[in-house]
Structure 1
Amino acid sequence: MPTSPSDPYDLAVVGAGPAGLAGAVTAGELGLSVILLDAAGQTGGQYFRHPAPGLGATRPQALHHDWPAFAALRRRLENGTVTHLAHHHVWTVTRRDEHTWTVHALTGTDGDGERPVRLHARTVLFATGAQERHLPFPGWTLPGVVGAGGAQAMLKSGLVLPGQRVVVAGSGPLLLAVASSLAAAGARIPAVAEASGYLGYARSPRALATNPHKLLEAAVHGSALLRHRIPLHTRSAVTEVHGTDRVEAVTVSRLDRHWRPLPGTGRHIACDALAAGHGLVPQTELATSLGCATRRGPDGATALALDDLQRTSVPGLWAAGETGGTGGWQLARTEGELAGIAIAAHLRARPVLTGSRRVAGLRRRRDRMRAFADAMAAAHAPGPGWTGWLTDATDVCRCEEVTAGRIREAAGELGAGDARTVKLLTRAGMGWCQGRMCSAAVSCLAADGTAEGTVPPSAERRPLAVPVPLGVLATEPERPDPG
């Protein structure tokens, strides 16, 4: 740890999920002074989210696969020299001088208890993970509709279910994991509706052959569905939710290969909750606000463009895990370890580190798993016909209550040719979540067919990654307290 408040750390890691943990402990073991900041109270990120100590859970590992590997990472953190700051929300990173970055964070409770914290580091590793992609449909604002990942988070962190009869819908392998987890916890799953199919994986036979552990995971979840007698409907989607005060039923419709609902195929399924999600999108706000280059993934999501050693396009900034594209916790851990070594080699001027057998092995493993991640993203990419689910009365921006009809009017009659102009005309994306829930849908509707309804990458840069009270901005930041 730096001896003076003005002295920088060698490395600041943002995010304590698998990528951030691996990067922090690896760099610390190589002699760097490292500070690890995370918004959560416990390490593990979204994948290894576990119950709060006050809930008295005796076997949190029962909710997770690969818990021993995470526990080993956590022990390395506890036994090492890395300074870990929990409950620290990083809202921006700025350049202090040519060789140093300043990380700005909030710590404490909402409102008057929040305090600004500012620290300095010679390098920064972004391991900020991903968030769910939500595609709206009629009735999605009813109580009882939650994100697929949100349902899993409720179970892992709160030991609660979103309902007793839960339909799971959307697209991507997360659906199988969510359904099997909820069923194991006692929920009844009337159906899993997967908007894509699984035949798309066949277009990437090499990626399948070189990642047998992924096939094993699929087999585990598939056997869980069979054991709990959960029907899986491919090329199907929830196209409407029914209920007054909360979810009472859903309509599941068959889709064509473009995700257009097939007339006459709607099936009414009774339930009291819906867990819906259409994959994950990288959280890149901190990095893109500093000018880091991005790339468009096979599923249309915007991810950071990284080199073979996890460097961004801006010198001094690295990234690992799902900021570079969603690929699972094992890929995130591998990229974090690779980034930790690369940063140590850069700061200690020891290029021999990046030429070692260890790095060569990590790069091979990373490339193999990244190939599977790209195949997975392509197989579950949203089809252009999904916007046909929306009636003009369907809320797209929940915060500002902007309907699909108003967005279509802005894009058509008023001539708005992009999401930014639609935002100015309708306020879509100007609410509390700042477009995190609706930006994909707004962009597709704004495209009005020019992008064939697929999810375009976002060109926006956000100077603030999380909401920050004005009073906090006016307060003199303090030195972080590692205790």
Structure 2
Amino acid sequence: MPTSPSDASTYDLAVIGAGPAGLAAAVTAADLGLRCALLDAGRQTGGQYYRHPASGLGAARPDRLHHGWSVYTGLADRLAAHREAGRVDFLGGHQVWALERTGDGYAVHVTLGPEAADRATVPAAAVLLATGAYERQLPFPGWTLPGVVTAGGAQAMLKAGLVLPGRRIVVAGSGPLLLAAASSLVTAGAEVPSVVEATDYLGYARRPGVLAAVPGKLVEGAGHGSALLRHRVRLRRRSAVVEAHGTDRVNAVTVARLDADWRPVPGTERRIDCDALAVGHGLLPQIELATELGAATSTGPDGAVALQVDARLRTTVPGLWSAGETNGVGGADLAIAEGELAAHAVADLAPRPALLRRRARLRAFAELMAAAHRPGPGWTGWLRPDTDVCRCEEVPVARIREAVEELGAGDPRTVKLLTRAGMGWCQGRMCGPAVACLAGSGEPGPDRRPFACPVPLSQLAAAED
């Protein structure tokens, strides 16, 4: 169960995010003698990757829903021992909305709920950011229909709720998450008539040495492929879902072949009946807490913006480290390696050379993966003028193009001011990449703002300072 800070003294390290990177960082830092706070918006550890079935569901074998569950249980056992010894406080249900630099470290501002009293500040000498990533979505006609979910969302429904988004599910988009999602869905009893991948996977062949250095990734991919073969799932490469059909719910999708720039090829359309669509185009680092402090960023091979870190995973902000997907999406194995490395750096100790080599191999694979699945510029060819781009504010393609072509908007922020695209509840997480592309500025850069999540006004009014 989550706890509260054990006393008012300053922690040596506050780790934000209790997924693979954050868990590894917290337990390693405690091993090295640091007193840590591990904060997460969720009530349990594991983050988005190691989701837990709700306790009332009585799931006896959660390991069957996860890849590498034993790695998580090992980290969780170490955390439990450190919590018992008072070296780590796990602060579950603590949503961090801002980091503030103080004279001797950081004040980590958190909200715990909607009431005025449900706020706290956690003091720490150093902070390690392990906030993970969120899914990149590219809109298409019909993507707002019920039954259309993200690829990660379909996995989350299965892992946390033991439910499927439908019985006949098309999986589409681009990236390795598609194969993992499809494999999980068919293993759980769903029918997956097709996995629709926008690339052709040939990008991986450009650096065979990188692939050979991570045999575990090849084994993992082969496992997903075997599951799909057993269930006779068709893999459609160089293709995309260009429209979802239905009234009250999706009941079919149109799939088209793509050219090298992701433009739909006329005459190649095929209709596939389904009652759900799981779609996603990779992940984007969640870095708002760091960019608000002025941390430098870099653009990855897939166009995604991540934090710029040095060899010891330090950001350009003093006392702020970063591990895992915030440095560029690379999966749980890389996140764990970087969590351990960052903990050694915070403790001012040299890590094992083997760990450095492991991180280098996995980071090289992450860059290869990102390059192989970079969205092509021609994907806007499947949009129609009335296609909603911003779901929250119901802003269609026509209004965004009007802002760009007639009103002179040349960047996402100006488009936002003219159309309200990105002003809704998700604050541009769903529509940001699409708006940036339509504005002609590529992937959106970090949007600096003082709040990383919604905070009740009552909590701000009750603040002493």
Query: Would you say same fold, with TM above 0.5?
Result: yes
Residue 453 of structure 2: aligned partner: 466
Residue 409 of structure 1: aligned partner: 402
Count of residue pairs the alignment pairs up: 458
Counterpart-to-counterpart distance in 1, 2:272 and 2:15: 45
Map Cα deviations across residues 26-58 of structure 1 (whole Å, 9 max, x no partner).
111111110000011111111111212222111
Deviation at 1:4, TM superposition (A): 5.3
Residue 43 of structure 1: aligned partner: 45
Identity %: 65
Residue 150 of structure 1: aligned partner: 153
Q: How does 1:127-206 map to 2 (within 5 A)?
A: 127-206=130-209
Residue 77 of structure 2: aligned partner: 75
Are the structure 2 counterparts of residues 417 and 368 from structure 1 closer, same or farther at C-alpha, using a change threshold of 3 Å? same
Are the structure 2 counterparts of residues 260 and 102 from structure 1 closer, same or farther at C-alpha, using a change threshold of 3 Å? same
What amino acid maps onto 2:122 in structure 1? L
What amino acid maps onto 2:360 in structure 1? D
Deviation at 1:459, TM superposition (A): 3.9
Residue 84 of structure 1: aligned partner: 90
The answer on whether the counterparts of 1:237 and 1:255 sit within 8 Å (CA) in structure 2 is yes
SS of 2:125's partner is: strand
Counterpart-to-counterpart distance in 1, 2:273 and 2:451: 42
* 2:378 equivalent to 1:372: no
What amino acid maps onto 1:283 in structure 2? Q
Counterpart-to-counterpart distance in 1, 2:52 and 2:288: 26
Scaled by the length of structure 1, what TM-score is found? 0.93
What amino acid maps onto 2:243 in structure 1? E
Deviation at 1:63, TM superposition (A): 0.5
Are the structure 2 counterparts of residues 251 and 477 from structure 1 closer, same or farther at C-alpha, using a change threshold of 3 Å? farther
1:290 to 288, 293, 300: 293
Counterpart-to-counterpart distance in 1, 2:79 and 2:229: 39
What amino acid maps onto 2:221 in structure 1? A
SS of 1:248's partner is: strand
Are the structure 2 counterparts of residues 282 and 411 from structure 1 closer, same or farther at C-alpha, using a change threshold of 3 Å? same
Residue 380 of structure 2: aligned partner: 387
Counterpart-to-counterpart distance in 2, 1:27 and 1:95: 21
Root-mean-square deviation over aligned CA pairs:
1.5
Map Cα deviations across residues 201-250 of structure 1 (whole Å, 9 max, x no partner).
01111211111111111100000000011000000000000000110100
Deviation at 1:2, TM superposition (A): 8.6
The answer on whether the counterparts of 2:304 and 2:443 sit within 8 Å (CA) in structure 1 is yes
Counterpart-to-counterpart distance in 1, 2:44 and 2:124: 23
The answer on whether the counterparts of 1:2 and 1:9 sit within 8 Å (CA) in structure 2 is no
Counterpart-to-counterpart distance in 2, 1:324 and 1:279: 15
Map Cα deviations across residues 317-360 of structure 1 (whole Å, 9 max, x no partner).
00000000110100000000000111011xxxxxxx21x5x1x2
Deviation at 1:3, TM superposition (A): 7.8
Counterpart-to-counterpart distance in 1, 2:182 and 2:117: 37
The answer on whether the counterparts of 1:118 and 1:477 sit within 8 Å (CA) in structure 2 is no
* 2:102 equivalent to 1:100: no
What amino acid maps onto 1:315 in structure 2? P
Counterpart-to-counterpart distance in 1, 2:437 and 2:460: 35
Map Cα deviations across residues 132-164 of structure 1 (whole Å, 9 max, x no partner).
000000000000000000000000001110001
Large movers: runs of 4+ above 3 Å: 1-4, 111-114
The answer on whether the counterparts of 2:116 and 2:458 sit within 8 Å (CA) in structure 1 is no
What amino acid maps onto 1:92 in structure 2? A
Residue 65 of structure 1: aligned partner: 67
Q: Structure 1, unaligned stretches of length 5 or more?
A: 346-352, 479-483
Deviation at 1:476, TM superposition (A): 3.9
Deviation at 1:475, TM superposition (A): 2.1
Counterpart-to-counterpart distance in 2, 1:173 and 1:117: 38
The answer on whether the counterparts of 1:311 and 1:317 sit within 8 Å (CA) in structure 2 is yes
What amino acid maps onto 2:236 in structure 1? H
The answer on whether the counterparts of 1:2 and 1:8 sit within 8 Å (CA) in structure 2 is no
The answer on whether the counterparts of 2:288 and 2:446 sit within 8 Å (CA) in structure 1 is no
Are the structure 2 counterparts of residues 114 and 196 from structure 1 closer, same or farther at C-alpha, using a change threshold of 3 Å? farther
Counterpart-to-counterpart distance in 2, 1:404 and 1:198: 30
What amino acid maps onto 1:389 in structure 2? W
Q: Structure 2, unaligned stretches of length 5 or more?
A: none
SS of 1:387's partner is: helix
The answer on whether the counterparts of 1:117 and 1:477 sit within 8 Å (CA) in structure 2 is no
* 2:333 equivalent to 1:327: no
SS of 2:49's partner is: coil
* 2:302 equivalent to 1:309: no
The answer on whether the counterparts of 1:106 and 1:114 sit within 8 Å (CA) in structure 2 is no
* 2:427 equivalent to 1:425: no
Deviation at 1:376, TM superposition (A): 0.3
Counterpart-to-counterpart distance in 2, 1:3 and 1:208: 46
Residue 210 of structure 2: aligned partner: 207
What amino acid maps onto 1:402 in structure 2? V
Counterpart-to-counterpart distance in 2, 1:2 and 1:279: 36
The answer on whether the counterparts of 1:249 and 1:271 sit within 8 Å (CA) in structure 2 is yes
